[in-house]
Structure 1
Amino acid sequence: MSSALTNVSGPTERTSTIRSLLGRVLVLGAALSVAIYLVPLLIQFQMWMWLAVVVLATLAIFALYSTKRFVPAKYVFPGTFFLAVFLIIPIVLTVQTAFTNFGDGFRGTKEEAITAITNNSVQQTADSPIYNLTVATTGSPDEGPYSLFLVNPETNEVLYGADGETVRKAKPGDVTVTDGFVTAAEGYSILTPQEVNSNYEAISALTLSVSENSAIKVQGVRNAFEGTKTMVYDEATDTITDTATGNTYTVQKIGKSEYFVDANGNRLAQSWLQNVGLANFKELFTNTSLLKQLGGAFTWTLVFAGGSMLLTFLVGYFLALTLNDDRVRGKKFYRSFLLLPYAVPGFISLLIWSNFYNRDFGLINNALHLSINWLGDPTWAKVAVLLTNTWMGFPYMFIVCTGALQSISGDLKEAARIDGANGWQTTTRITTPLLLVSVAPLLVSTFAFNFNNFNAIQLLTRGGPFGEGEYIRGGTDILISVVYRIAFGGSGADYGFASAVSVILFVITGALAAIQFRATRALEDVN
């Protein structure tokens, strides 16, 4: 008997071991493949922090899953890894960006800014060499990135390079030249003249450096010229000289950033990414006009988050109480029907509701014979946002409250009736306190969610309506939508300042959540 069991368990154990080994090989092989693919790219783009994350994660995977030891860590690692990648690292990057001037005109290094300034000053002269131009890409024809392949018609020499780079000579075996133009290049896709013409605005801005004093620029769909730089950089004195006017630009600080500035105070538009310390936070707390607009947005954010939380809870709780009564027939049908707003994707609901609020053709005004300017008046726009958010949010509260009500013992209600309590007293003094024990933490999370509910504002009202002189905050803008407008506003993106506001917003949200959680501790004594 024991021999038979041994014979049966032997193959089974071997099969399990083989499966475990194959699974381990597949996991480790996949991790190694991803690392091999990402590491060269991260080194190329100098993304050192993400390089460290990839290397450390790969080493951790091999250390944990290549042996039978560290069993608890095998289960803890995946959650910890994704927590770090999707939560902790973005927070660290946001805080880091808050101490910089990162934004339009402040994206690259100082060397890249100097290259852009000098290359953009290229002027064609009478003896400028003309090259046969071919545009190629390693990506898509419409998005790039683009590289230029140039053929000298006199010597048939082939040069190539990407925007801002110094031209290089192509090896004969790497390119194919037909009728004086490059028609094929290893690793590149050649754009047709029609594709070049369609994307000419981006392609015509490309510049290749030849030397400190000359560069190549695009001239038409099929040609490029080598011109002279009128802006020349002197590394010894760290200055840029305009050879056409004789003006010399030195590095000076204007505001919170450094620029190349001449003797008359005129600065060159191009600057570079710099560490500005607490300048963004100083600007935030000293700009009275901005503080006033942010203060108004903060007040409305509290009203919006608190009102949405309260209204969704009241409507959801009322419907849950109603359908929790055994005397109601067809409860399953009604509950399914009430969940429909929750089943529809939020962005679709918001876009549909924005049409409902149209003053002239909207469903609400036409059905009720009204002429309310829902989205044009600040007060009515706020009402519209709260109504829409309530409609979208009450099914969630309905589900939560229904589950909480069904977990409350019916004996408690029966005891309350025996003691002489009526329905209202039973609901307010027994059912509601017991329900809040489990629902209160969800109310806190609902408040925090609506505090940063960007979609509800952006898709419904786009933050409007905007009053006269208000260019940052509209009538329904909450803090997060104001931050979005600062980061991607019409006057140019300012990610550094927007990150500083986001850090303050993060602190405020955390403080409010902590206060709310502390207030809900009183419910822990309810039994």
Structure 2
Amino acid sequence: MSLATKTPPAPASPPTYHSPKPPLWAVIVKWAALALVVVVAFYLATRLADEGYGLYIVILAIVVMAVLVVYSTRRSIPMKYLLPGLILLLGLQVWPIIMTVSTAFTNGQTITKAETITAIERNSVREVAGAPRYKLSIAVKEGSDVATGNLFFLLTSPDGALKVGDEKGLSDLPADGVVKTDSGKITKAPGFTVLNARQINARKDLATFAVPSTDGSGIKAVGLSEAFEGRATVTYDEASDTLKNTATGQVYVVKDARFVPQDGKGQAFPQKWVENVGFKNFQTILTDSSIRSGFLKIFAWNIAFAALSVITTFILGMLLALLFNDERLKGKSYYRALLVLPYAIPGFVTSLLWASMFNQDYGLVNSLTHLDVDWLGNPWAAKAAILIANLWLGFPYMFLITTGALQSIPSDVREAAKIDGAGPARTLRSIIMPLLLVAVGPLLIASFAFNFNNFSLVYLLTGGGPFDSDNTSIGNTDLLITYAFRLAFSGTSPDYGLAAAVSIIIFFIVAIMSYAGFRRTASLEEVN
């Protein structure tokens, strides 16, 4: 008798999970938000197109496409949470780094050669004899920023015709909705915001702005209410790559990214254009004697300032935390709230207050101590003033993190040390400190990096000074970051390229020190 062969049952398939269908209102809100993103992106794209930023339009399109792909479907759940952070990371961290690195290998200018030539030609426009004058109103597009928006000339010709002109040319202005004074000056026009005298005087670009018209002539403002039609006295010859002043016959050739007189007589045009200079900026830092000596001086003080700031704030914060960690102390919550107040007040406000308190003549510090120290005028006193102010600003942070770290140390560890005969000092040195440094070590490294670039305190308290009489570009309390700021934004000829090179050097210095510090703190974890 044979036994019938039984077929084993098929394994049960895992249950399929279906996410719940979202309610109708959530779907409507999602698609409305996506539509709003598209509308805003389209508006930004048109503004960028007007400014000629083609690369930024491409980047904006990629971002919008990523948003639509991720949020228009029910897939890619993790990416829905990661995408906002990635966009902010690229926009606020990666892109500025790329721009800084690219600027470091240029001469630091921000306009192209073609824009420079156009600016020179427009600035050379002179009034043509017998040409009519226009009644002028200066405006920007409605909704544009009055300080940075593209300029427009709203013109009324002597025969009453209305014109509007920008950097692209002149066109007719429809009369519907236009409001004029009795003299013909336009005070209101649809689609435009007419600037007042204060707004006009704040525009730095008005001096070189001209509306191109016919036969190489252009329309420029004279005062705030009139414009004349003139002709450029400086013309560009593309074949020879030269400029020529038709009034004087002077020829200008290219040298060091600017136009200079061919015969060496007279002044060069002040406008310069962006040009790749390779490693010249880094070479200047290393080879120029004045910059090199000043750089090393600033670097030494920068290291000392960051290290002393971390050490002093940590010691004071730790001592206070040890005091408040004692169970016998009453009212600890009130005292802790008072100690955190310096950390709660904005740093720039505290910096300005300390600057007034360190004033030699009427400052609170000299008044209370009956001293006559020139805190902000003497190099060593200014360094001490910065360290004192930073101690006040920084110890609450150290107090908070060490308080948390101390409370995480098991009490039985201290009891074991006490049983073994260790006194308070030995327990602190051999038990508490190693365990404390395991927790706060990375934060100390981060604090060092922050103080290495503590721009606001130095800038607001001393401005980098006091300065030596023989070198007013490098101050005795300058950090590398304040020195880079002065190179980029101060003086008559800011050097963005050299400042960007200094910023890159700062980055590598901080990165190397932080890496060494993290390697050192990693060895402390063995105490666990």
Q: Distance in 2 between matches of 1:127 and 1:81?
A: 58
Report how far residue 43 of structure 1 moved.
Answer: 2.4
Q: How does 1:506-525 map to 2 (within 5 A)?
A: 506-525=507-526
For 2:234, the equivalent position in structure 1 comes to: 231
Letter in 2 for 1:392: L
Report how far residue 190 of structure 1 moved.
Answer: 2.7
TM-score normalised by the chain length of structure 2: 0.90
For 1:146, the equivalent position in structure 2 comes to: 151
Q: Distance in 1 between matches of 2:100 and 2:203?
A: 35
SS at match of 1:134: strand
Q: Distance in 2 between matches of 1:63 and 1:122?
A: 52
Gaps of 5+ in 1: 1-11
For 2:164, the equivalent position in structure 1 comes to: 160
Report how far residue 169 of structure 1 moved.
Answer: 3.6
CA contact (8 A) 1:239 1:260 kept: no
Selected match of 2:189 from 180, 185, 188: 185
Selected match of 2:53 from 37, 47, 60: 47
Q: Percent identity?
A: 40
Q: Deviations over 1:50-107 (max 9, x none)?
A: 32332222211221122221122222222222111111111111111112223xxx33
CA contact (8 A) 1:240 1:260 kept: no
Report how far residue 19 of structure 1 moved.
Answer: 4.5
Q: Deviations over 1:438-481 (max 9, x none)?
A: 10000000000000010110111111111112222111110000
For 1:305, the equivalent position in structure 2 comes to: 306
Report how far residue 198 of structure 1 moved.
Answer: 5.7
Change (3 A) 1:22 1:175: same
Change (3 A) 1:185 1:129: same
Q: Distance in 1 between matches of 2:229 and 2:33?
A: 53
**Runs of at least 4 residues off by over 6 Å:** none
Letter in 1 for 2:64: T
CA contact (8 A) 1:176 1:184 kept: yes
Change (3 A) 1:408 1:116: same
1:207 aligns with 2:207: no
For 1:7, the equivalent position in structure 2 comes to: none
Change (3 A) 1:30 1:198: closer
Q: Distance in 2 between matches of 1:195 and 1:349?
A: 33
For 1:244, the equivalent position in structure 2 comes to: 247
CA contact (8 A) 2:309 2:391 kept: yes
Change (3 A) 1:430 1:56: same
1:457 aligns with 2:430: no
CA contact (8 A) 1:183 1:190 kept: yes
Change (3 A) 1:199 1:400: closer
Q: Distance in 1 between matches of 2:357 and 2:524?
A: 41
CA contact (8 A) 2:170 2:213 kept: yes
Q: How does 1:431-510 map to 2 (within 5 A)?
A: 431-510=432-511
Q: Deviations over 1:471-508 (max 9, x none)?
A: 22111110000000000111232222211111111111
Q: How does 1:201-350 map to 2 (within 5 A)?
A: 203=206, 205-211=208-214, 213-251=216-254, 253-254=255-256, 257-264=257-264, 266-350=267-351
Change (3 A) 1:487 1:317: same
Q: Distance in 2 between matches of 1:221 and 1:71?
A: 58
Letter in 1 for 2:165: G
CA contact (8 A) 1:113 1:270 kept: yes
Report how far residue 145 of structure 1 moved.
Answer: 4.4
SS at match of 1:246: coil
Q: Distance in 2 between matches of 1:275 and 1:166?
A: 32
Q: Distance in 2 between matches of 1:30 and 1:134?
A: 35
Report how far residue 212 of structure 1 moved.
Answer: 5.7
Report how far residue 239 of structure 1 moved.
Answer: 1.7
1:129 aligns with 2:132: yes
Change (3 A) 1:367 1:161: same
1:391 aligns with 2:392: yes
Report how far residue 114 of structure 1 moved.
Answer: 1.2
Letter in 2 for 1:133: L
Q: Distance in 2 between matches of 1:33 and 1:390?
A: 49
Letter in 2 for 1:190: V
Which stretch shows the higher mean deviation, 372-381 or 271-280? Answer: 271-280
CA contact (8 A) 1:301 1:451 kept: yes
Aligned length: 506
Change (3 A) 1:211 1:370: same
For 1:89, the equivalent position in structure 2 comes to: 95
Q: How does 1:379-418 map to 2 (within 5 A)?
A: 379-418=380-419
CA contact (8 A) 1:135 1:196 kept: no
Change (3 A) 1:191 1:57: closer
Q: Deviations over 1:378-435 (max 9, x none)?
A: 0010001011101110000000000000000000000001101011101110011001
SS at match of 2:154: strand
CA contact (8 A) 2:170 2:212 kept: yes
Q: Deviations over 1:330-359 (max 9, x none)?
A: 111211111111111111111111111011
RMSD, matched Cα: 2.4
SS at match of 1:263: coil
Which stretch shows the higher mean deviation, 222-231 or 514-523? Answer: 222-231
CA contact (8 A) 1:483 1:498 kept: yes
Q: Distance in 2 between matches of 1:46 and 1:203?
A: 19
For 2:15, the equivalent position in structure 1 comes to: none
Which stretch shows the higher mean deviation, 260-269 or 352-361? Answer: 260-269
Change (3 A) 1:211 1:272: farther
For 2:9, the equivalent position in structure 1 comes to: none
Q: Distance in 2 between matches of 1:42 and 1:177?
A: 32
Q: Distance in 1 between matches of 2:204 and 2:403?
A: 59
Letter in 2 for 1:208: V
TM-score normalised by the chain length of structure 1: 0.90
Change (3 A) 1:248 1:174: farther
Change (3 A) 1:516 1:378: same
Change (3 A) 1:93 1:176: same
Q: Distance in 1 between matches of 2:369 and 2:393?
A: 21
Q: How does 1:61-140 map to 2 (within 5 A)?
A: 61-102=67-108, 106-138=109-141, 139=144
Q: Distance in 2 between matches of 1:201 and 1:386?
A: 40
Which stretch shows the higher mean deviation, 227-236 or 183-192? Answer: 183-192
For 1:9, the equivalent position in structure 2 comes to: none
CA contact (8 A) 1:205 1:218 kept: no
Q: Distance in 1 between matches of 2:306 and 2:163?
A: 60
Letter in 2 for 1:113: T
Selected match of 1:21 from 17, 21, 27: 27
Q: Distance in 1 between matches of 2:387 and 2:216?
A: 61
Q: Distance in 1 between matches of 2:334 and 2:179?
A: 70
For 1:5, the equivalent position in structure 2 comes to: none
Letter in 2 for 1:77: L
SS at match of 1:58: helix
Q: Distance in 1 between matches of 2:408 and 2:261?
A: 71
Report how far residue 142 of structure 1 moved.
Answer: 6.4
Selected match of 2:36 from 12, 30, 34: 30
SS at match of 1:339: helix
Letter in 2 for 1:153: P
Change (3 A) 1:229 1:174: farther
Q: Distance in 1 between matches of 2:203 and 2:333?
A: 61
